[in-house]
Amino acid sequence: MNRITILIADDEQEIAGLIELHLKKEGYHCITVHNGQDAIQAVHTQPIDLAILDIMMPKFDGYEVTRQIREQYYMPIIFLSAKASDLDKIEGLVRGADDYMTKPFNPMELVARVNAHLRRIMQLTQMAPTSKPVIEVGGLVIYPEQRTVDLYGDTIELTPKEFDILYLMARHPKKVFSAENIFEQVWGEDYFEGGNTVMVHIRTLRKKLGEDKNKFIKTVWGVGYTLHG
């Protein structure tokens, strides 16, 4: 079994060391850096399975690191930040993160979230059948093997979670999914307070699908969301 490598990027060395200590206890291999430039270099020079990024770092902040990662790589990204407002969390998710934790945080909760994201990725790679059919919904063409989406012939860039949500809905056209359904199937965790997280991802997904012209994702008020061609 290949070892799982996690990138930790935080300019607060004490926090980075604490995260590394707990993740190593779980058996993960860790690469720890203290600025955004080194984080980008690490991603380009060795395989990374998941990244934990502080938002406020020298040289490049977490947003810029995420932007560059998303140009080439498809890995879960967890943001760490002292900014705790809902708007800050929404901003982090819109910028491409899959999860957002505020400082101070419980290291064991972070480990649990890391485990959940990695478990979800492994489940997706092991799903049968080995060859997944291309799905077409109106002007959308979804390629499950490549995890890419074309919109009227042009490829659109989606985050891992945005793709997972769209693929889930496309496999069950016209079925109405509640926020709870989506969260539990895409994140692989119990729902609790995941409604805002789902809402933010639906909002950014609609924007990328050109919601002003195309109405692919329909809201069924009081129930959830459904995909129409």
Q: pLDDT tens for residues 73-112?
A: 778 999 998 887 888 888 888 888 889 999 999 999 999 9
Centroid of chain to Cα 156: 16
Instruction: Give the DSSP per-residue string, 146-171.
Output: TTEEEETTEEE---HHHHHHHHHHHT
At 173, is the secondary structure helix, strand, or coil? coil
Q: Is the Cβ–Cβ distance between 176 and 223 less than 8 Å?
A: yes
Q: Across all residues in the chain, what is the average pLDDT? A: 86
pLDDT of 198 > 90? The answer is no
Q: How far apart are CA 110 and CA 223, in angstroms?
A: 31
What was the pLDDT predicted at 42?
A: 92
Region 10-32 average pLDDT = 94
The kind and range of the H/E element at 217 are strand 217-220
Lookup: tokens for 163: 């793709």
Most confident of 20-24, 89-93, 139-143, 215-219: 20-24
Q: How far apart are CA 44 and CA 7, in angstroms?
A: 12
Q: Is the Cβ–Cβ distance between 23 and 6 less than 8 Å?
A: yes
Region 189-209 average pLDDT = 80
N residues, the chain: 229
Region 5-25 average pLDDT = 95
> What is the distance in angstroms between the CA of the first residue and the CA of the last residue of the chain?
41
DSSP state of 6: E
What was the pLDDT predicted at 137?
A: 85
pLDDT of 129 > 60? The answer is no
pTM for the full model? 0.64
Closest by alpha carbon to 205, among 177, 191, 112?
177
At 67, is the secondary structure helix, strand, or coil? helix
Position 64 confidence tier, pLDDT thresholds 50, 70, 90:
very high
Between 131 and 155, the more confident residue is 155
| H runs (alpha helix) in the chain | 13-25, 36-45, 62-72, 86-94, 107-126, 160-170, 179-186, 195-208
What was the pLDDT predicted at 175?
A: 86
Between 28 and 139, the more confident residue is 28
Q: How far apart are CA 94 and CA 196, in angstroms?
A: 12
What was the pLDDT predicted at 127?
A: 54
Closest by alpha carbon to 148, among 225, 51, 74, 228?
74
pLDDT of 217 > 70? The answer is yes
Position 128 confidence tier, pLDDT thresholds 50, 70, 90:
very low
pLDDT of 169 > 70? The answer is yes
At 4, is the secondary structure helix, strand, or coil? coil
Position 44 confidence tier, pLDDT thresholds 50, 70, 90:
confident
